[in-house]
Amino acid sequence: MPISNTPPNTPLSSTPLSNTPRTTTVDDAPDISRILALAFDDDPMMRWFFPEDASRQASLGRYFTTIFTRQYVHHGVCERTGAAAAFWVAPEAQDKAVPDAETIQELQNILGDRAGLFRDAVETAARHTPQEPHWSLSLIGADPAAQGQGHGARLLRSGLAKADAAGQPVYLESSKASNLPVYEHFGFTVREELQLPGDGGPKLWGMWRDPRS
């Protein structure tokens, strides 16, 4: 299920980390899981999946490590900067970039008694995924401590340039309403608003961007 968080114009300290995008490898997993766990700590969907404040960071770290090392690093276009990461999936890889049975079991172990909510959310989102060929921005997030240094924006532009070069539209699902204007700035429009099932289920906004020459 594509999710995106942390506005792309998303303070480190006196020595800013490089915001130049580069392709990730599996060796980046510790850094990426730490960055994304921080980025998604206040995300409504992740707080719904992981409601315990005391254990959320550790659970998010395991979650992002699992989907990165078992799924996206193999079948996606994964890029990072010093303080942000983005996972994209090209049209021809959409069928491959889904969790296999072993990955699903690992995610269920991480989610515990919230696994059923997660499954229902994934199935709901999948029913609303556009059927026409497109790139997916599956996930983007930046360490809040690096806000304002352009990490997310650089990653967004890098991925969008690849989709534009291929003449393909891009789809994402945002789980945070405050990010909608940011994505709109990059050419996305809200295509659909989804209410996820379950008690207190959050909303998702499906957003679409046509290719640019």
Angstrom distance (rounded) from CA 152 to CA 62: 22
State the Cα–Cα distance between residues 152 and 138, nearest whole angstrom. Answer: 14
Domain ranges of the chain: 22-209
Q: CA 83, CA 85: separation in Å to the nearest integer?
A: 7
DSSP assigned state of 101: H
Q: Give the C-alpha separation, 142 to 5, whole Å.
A: 8
Q: What local confidence, expressed as pLDDT, does residue 23 receive? A: 97
Q: How far apart are CA 34 and CA 121, in angstroms?
A: 24
DSSP H helices, 40-94, are 44-49, 53-67, 73-75
What pTM was estimated for this model as a whole? 0.90
pLDDT of residue 1: 57
Amino acid at 208: W
Nearest CA-CA partner of 1 in 162, 182, 174: 174
Nearest to 155 by CA among 10, 21, 6, 32: 21
**Residue 189: per-residue pLDDT:** 98
Contact between residue 141 and residue 175 where contact means Cβ atoms under 8 Å apart: no
Containing 180, the helix (H) or strand (E) segment is helix 180-185
What 36-39 contacts at long range (C-beta under 8 Å, 24+ apart), as own/partner pairs, is 36/60, 36/64, 36/85, 36/139, 36/141, 37/61, 37/64, 38/143, 38/144, 38/145, 39/5, 39/6, 39/84, 39/141, 39/142, 39/143, 39/144
Q: Could you tell me the mean pLDDT of each successive run of 10 residues in the chain, 213 residues long? A: 54 65 97 97 95 96 97 96 97 90 94 93 91 96 92 97 98 95 97 88 95 92
Amino acid at 97: A
For residue 156, the model assigns a pLDDT of 97
Which overall architecture, per CATH, does domain 22-209 show? 3-Layer(aba) Sandwich (3.40)
If we measure between CA atoms, which residue out of 169, 203, 204, 167 comes closest to residue 186?
Answer: 169
Q: What is the pLDDT of residue 11?
A: 41
